[in-house]
Amino acid sequence: MAVWIPVLKAALPYVSNLVATALPVFTSKKEQEASAELVARQIAELQTAVTGNAEAVKGLAAQLEKTITALEAGESDLSRRFAGLQEGLGRCESAASLLQAQTSRQESGAAAMQIRIDALDQQLASERRRGIAIALVAALALIVAVFALLR
């Protein structure tokens, strides 16, 4: 419905001209008899009205053609823009799914690294305990050797 508003706005000035010329004001009859001169004058008025109507119709047709051409161009432009927006939306959705997959991979990699770090911490703690135990055994052996020498 809103598409026809510009068409009506463009046509209204011509419609008033058409109506005004379609209702020609004929000369009033002063005599009851139609004289040849009166008929000739009325024919001339009718020809003038028809010529004016034809020019107004041509102007209206030209305005209507311009309006329709502009509407078609606008519709074509909007269709092209909409297609571009749909294409851009598809690319965004694709990029979002790739980012989501990459995030999932990074999260699983981080979890695997955390597991490896925990395992290395446990191994290091175990090696420290073993080193301390070996040092204690060596110290104990040294103390026993010192007592054995002193006796």
Tens-of-pLDDT digits for all 151 residues of the chain? 566 666 666 666 766 666 566 555 544 545 545 588 888 888 899 999 899 899 999 999 999 999 999 999 999 999 999 999 999 999 999 999 999 999 999 999 999 999 999 999 999 989 999 999 899 999 999 999 888 888 7
Left (φ > 0), alpha (ψ -120 to 50) or beta: where does 27 sit? beta
User: Which pLDDT score is estimated for 3?
Assistant: 63
DSSP conformation letters of 3-29: THHHHHHHHHHHHHHHHHHHS--PPPP
What's the rounded Cα separation, in Å, for the pair 33 and 46?
A: 19
From residue 24, alpha-carbon distances to 11, 42, 97, 114 in Å are: 21, 9, 73, 97
User: Which pLDDT score is estimated for 29?
Assistant: 47
User: Which pLDDT score is estimated for 26?
Assistant: 47
3-class DSSP state for residue 34? coil
User: Which pLDDT score is estimated for 7?
Assistant: 64
Cβ atoms within 10 Å, residue 14: 19
What's the rounded Cα separation, in Å, for the pair 44 and 46?
A: 5
User: Which pLDDT score is estimated for 36?
Assistant: 82
What's the rounded Cα separation, in Å, for the pair 87 and 81?
A: 10
User: Which pLDDT score is estimated for 151?
Assistant: 79
Rounded-to-10 torsion of CA 139, 142, 146, 149: 160
3-class DSSP state for residue 46? helix
